[in-house]
Amino acid sequence: MKRAFLAIAAAHLCATSLGAQAATATRGAFGALSDGTKVEAVTLTSSAGVSAKIMTLGATLQSLIVPDKAGHKDDVVLGYDTAQDYLTRPDYFGASVGRYANRIAKGKFSIDGKAFTLAANDGPNSLHGGKLGFDKRMWKIDSVSSGADAKVVMSYVSADGEEGFPGEMKVTATYSLNDQNELKLEYRATTSKPTVLNLTNHSYFNLSGNDTRDVMGNMVTLHAARFTPVDATLIPTGERRAVAGTVFDFATPHRVGDRIRDAKDQQIKFGRGYDHNFIVDGAAGSLRPAAVVQDPVSGRTMEMSVTAPGIQFYTGNFLDGTYFGKGNRAYRQGDAICLEPGVFPDSPNHADFPTSRLNPGQSYVNTIVYKFSAK
Ligand code: GLA
């Protein structure tokens, strides 16, 4: 009798604590654009103190609150306080980028002998999906749920020919957060015609929280033995170069700032710092460790695992103090680290790069896991 009671009590306790530990998702308004379009946001909160807000404009990670080693919670991603600012002063802050994240040389590619031309919006090249890429589109909220994973699914349908790309494309972005402080992001897509794509998230991380310091003192590890060098317009030359013995070697942790001014390396000159695609070690398609960012002052660490073949490591080199972000802070060069997992830049024009092609009947998946901790 007594034993049965104890078992029931234990089961009850367990259920209660499980219930208390579940991650939660809440949906709410996030203001409106200047044309009146309403923007919504979903906030995912883990019982371990991380909370991610995703807004429908651009399926954008608008804020990401992470505790430091003392338990203080701060926002670790750059962005704006209002949705309209993301359109007025756009720079892909936290955005879901598509159809083709990163560059396509001269905005030109062909599929099965048919030529396509995109807008040149970055010097001679096409960047991040063109003038009105996925970051500037309104996404729909398909579902919101709490539980072991708090989750939101957002979707966008891109019309055949939008921004010059062939095929109607149906895209989803699923963000989920668990109590181990893992934020998982999964992009999926299908198409009605053969096309090319590269979907990624363009968060600017500053683990100091509220950007109190730049990222030059952050320690970065990149699980990448090779990277793809670029020309002066940041288009890959086609070479896959070993990082060993160069300023691109992050196989063991290095301070971002230690070698970023080493202009003896022409690649650093071209990028104005780091703005390069690293080839992630291991088999693309399987989730494997790609990067670790550690801020020694706050103690915050972010570990990223990806399924993509590459990851663009960008140190906010174009932030020039004219972007006034959250809390009216000026964002300046070196204020953030972007790590954008995807296929390599300009893949449609490099037959020997991992393919960016998607055919009707195929499903595209790009999975990114960001795990946060502090010590
Ligand atoms: C990417 C590019 C950079 C820059 C930013 C957006 O990371 O590689 O060169 O265009 O996006 O400013």
Phi then psi for residue 312, to 5 deg, are: -85, 125
Q: What number is the average pLDDT over the span 258-287?
A: 97
Q: Rounded distance, CA 319 to CA 342, Å? A: 22
Just list the catalytic residues: 202, 340
What tokens were used for 45?
Answer: 């909160």
**What's the chain's length in residues?**
375
Q: What is the pLDDT of residue 263?
A: 86
- Residue 294 Cβ inside 6 Å of ligand 1? The answer reads no
Q: Does the predicted model carry a pTM greater than 0.85?
A: yes
* CA-based nearest residue to 342, from 271, 236, 251: 236
3-state secondary structure labels for all residues of 329-357: CEEECCCCEEEEEECCCCHHHCCCCCCCE
Question: 312 in ligand 1 pocket by Cβ < 6 Å?
Answer: yes
* pLDDT of 248 higher than 70: yes
Backbone φ and ψ of 128, nearest 5°: 55, 40
Residue 91 CB–ligand 1 contact under 6 Å: yes
What is the distance in A from the centroid of ligand 1 to the CA of 345?
A: 11
| Amino acid in the structure at residue 351 | A
pLDDT, residue 8, reads: 43
Q: Which amino acid is at 114?
A: K
Is the CB of 135 within 6 Å of ligand 1?
no
* CB-based contact 157:55 (threshold 8 Å): no
Centroid of ligand 1 to alpha carbon of 272 (angstroms)? 11
In the reported structure, the alpha carbon of residue 1 is separated from the centroid of ligand 1 by a whole-number distance in angstroms of: 67
Residue 127 in contact with ligand 1 by CB distance below 6 A: yes
Instruction: Record the tokens describing residue 123, joined without a space.
Output: 């010097």
- Rounded to whole angstroms, the Cα distance separating 77 from 85 reads 15
Task: Give start and end residues of each alpha helix (H) in 196-322.
Answer: 266-271
Q: Which among 353, 362, 301 is positioned nearest to 102, based on CA atoms?
A: 353
Give Cα 58 to chain centroid, integer Å.
12
Tell me: the pLDDT tens digits for 188-211? 999 999 999 999 999 999 999 988
Asked whether the beta carbons of 326 and 291 are under 8 A apart, the reply is no
Whether the bond into 99 is cis, omega within 30 of 0: yes
Confidence band of 7 (pLDDT split at 50, 70, 90): very low
pLDDT at 79: 98
How many alpha carbons fall within 13 Å on the CB side of residue 122?
18
Predicted pLDDT at 17 = 43
Mean pLDDT of the chain: 95
Mean pLDDT of 119-127: 98
Please identify which residue in the block is written with the tokens 């080493």: 262
To which residue do tokens 């991040």 refer? Answer: 128
Pocket of ligand 1 contains residue 335 by CB under 6 Å: no
CB under 8 Å to 113, separation ≥6 — which residues?
Answer: none
**Among 127, 134, 135, which is best to mutate for testing ligand 1, by the most ligand atoms less than 8 A from CB?**
127
- Per-residue pLDDT, averaged over 55-71, amounts to 98
* pLDDT digit string, tens, across residues 128-160: 999 999 999 999 999 999 999 999 999 999 999
Neighbouring C-beta atoms of residue 245, cutoff 10 Å:
7
* Residue minimizing CA distance to atom 12 of ligand 1: 91
Q: What is the DSSP letter of 134?
A: G
Q: How many whole angstroms separate alpha carbon 205 and alpha carbon 221? A: 15
Alpha carbon 340 to chain centroid distance? 5
Per-residue model confidence (pLDDT) at position 361: 98
pLDDT at 256 over 60: yes
Whether the CB of 92 sits within 6 Å of ligand 1: yes
Query: Ligand 1 atom 7: the closest Cα is on which residue?
Result: 314
Ligand 1 atom, smallest distance to 127 CA:
10
Question: Is pLDDT at 166 greater than 80 in this prediction?
Answer: yes
Q: What atom of ligand 1 comes closest to residue 314's alpha carbon?
A: 7
Is 339 a pocket residue for ligand 1 (Cβ < 6 Å)?
no
Determine which residue's CA is closest to atom 6 belonging to ligand 1: 91
pLDDT at 20 (0 to 100): 58
Is the Cα torsion angle 85, 89, 90, 92 positive or negative in sign?
negative
